[in-house]
A and B are shown apart, each in its own frame.
Chain A
Amino acid sequence: MSIVETEIAIIGGGIVGLSTALHVARRGVPVVVLEKRQPGAAASGVNFGGVRRNGRSLEELPLAARALEIWKSLPVLVGNDCEYQETGHLKVARNEDDMEAMAAHANEQAAYDCGVEMISRNALRAKYPWFGDVAYGAAWCPTDGQANPRLLGPAFAEAARQAGAHVYEDQAVVSIEKDGETLLLQTEHGLELRASQVVNAAGAWAGLLAGLLREPVELWPMMPQMAVTEPVPYFIEPALGVVGGDVYLRQIPRGNIIFGGRSGSADLEEGFGHAISEETLCTLERVAMVIPDMANINVIRLWSGVEGCTTDHLPVISPSQTTPGVFHAFGFSGHGFCLGPGTGAVLSEILLDGETQTDIAAFDIGRFS
């Protein structure tokens, strides 16, 4: 049995854990990531790929702004743009009530400088003639975008390694204990690790770890399911989502349209999500209402993944209340892809400087106790 000593140990090699590792390693501090499977293989790698502030809750906007800076600097930071594109995002209303609610939210968002504009039905249909009759209007955020989730986690892992971080794969953490001044972690495969500080960034599995530390957080597995079509000529530039989440979609320049809407199933033990065929049919029906031309094309693959969802749909980014030295960063409730790169930067400041300028007050774990 080998024992590894490090300053900071990160449980979970998703975007949150890996971006934290990268920022920590770049400051020359020893850091180890323990990933139960492979970097970015879970929710980080199989999500929709949206990078948006449009419609995002106000509490998350400062962190989202921080993330956006990092999204734009990916080629420099990790040597790969991960196909990030600032395409803008349309949040599509189905009726007057949706429009009013979105307009009110856009007003509140104005203080955060997101640049959200409301687009009337006629203007929307004039600009995007491919919308179906269900499109009543939209909120438009030009600074939003999209990226390729399959590349982000591995790119961060590679950059973190090059900066000096150790990223262990196939090492699921099974115990976490305070041992004097240090924290002792053990993995399923017998790896033992001592660290001064530990980050719990274990995604859908983070609730189990919080439980081990006697601070249970109600964390529901959520399994958004996705579909992708065969490539067709590029016609949908912005990413878009319908109010209520029935349908969200984006097209990549090579032609495939990626969309989601319903929930799949997952077995946390096994770790893989599965699309549910019956739910898929509902999403297909709806996507053809939003963009009727899509009725003529084929879906070639379905997939799903597992993410942790909190009761208030906001993440936990917070020191542990029971165990000094432990920090939590989980429960992103489907927002982790967009927020993850920023979360790593913020966490590295908390770990190494004890404070951050980014407002994350709403994410304290104490709100659940």
Chain B
Amino acid sequence: MKEKIAAVDHVNFEIREGEFFGLLGPNGAGKTTTIKLLCTLLVPDDGTAVVNGFDVIKEPEKVRKSLGVVTGGERGLYWRLTGRENLWFFSQMYNVPPDVARPRIEQLLKLVELQDRADEQVEKYSRGMKQRLHVVKGLVNDPPILLLDEPTLGLDPSSARVIRDFVKDQLQKEQNKTILHTTHYMEEADQLCDRIAIIDQGKTIALDTPTNLKKSIQSLEVAKVQVTQFNPRDQESIRSIEQVKEAVVEYTDSTVGAAEITIHAEDLDVVVPRLTELLVKGGARIIALHESRPSLEDVFISMTGRKLRD
């Protein structure tokens, strides 16, 4: 008999009107599953959710009318249709009257600077252009609530910044839309979200503003050590150094033992000499060592003992 695994288990949160709310967690944490439950693409085995006052199980059509959904990646658009045709098609699926849809589509194309390429087939678009089209596709019905599922996934930094600025400045600040945003990019969550729920293995492990989340580990000092020829057997020894609260090793090139070690400690002045001694003894070469301010990643590490990328 197959073992049943709960992709999402007791995830509870409430989002305020006009809020930019983030779901932060590693791949497989349950972020996309949560989004799919909220937009009625999945039916939960147990529990429910209310979107814009409508129950996702009992009133799925009303939920769908209230939402715009934006996913990351290459999927979700008709590549053989033009950008304008895609927006028109989806506006009609949302029953937007043609006299409203036409000017809105023009406006949306202009907002994401696609008006000059609007009549080209989507397959000719770059990855960033497709993603911009994805975002405005989620706006053709002018929904009060937007679900953004990894909207900057795989984009180059410049395209990702355009998307981030657009959703923050235009959609939240100017149009006062309520936004639920999933990401595994901690900087993105930190920059955009008013509040963040950190989820891991289908469960909410923290929920607060980015500032408060970081404050929760303020008593800890954080150091990052870059090494080569790291001896994996030293990992446990590092953890047992006095005052070390957490130590996570992330290999950047396992063939040469290149790794970045993140250390959480009560007092780095005590820890660093012992750590360097241990590393050198184990045959590692220390490339760099620097102290850093706690980030959301460190919040995640302190709670799970793992990095977001693990």
Q: Does A pair with B?
A: no
Listed in ascending order, the chain A residues whose CB lies under 8 Å from chain B are none
Listed in ascending order, the chain B residues whose CB lies under 8 Å from chain A are none
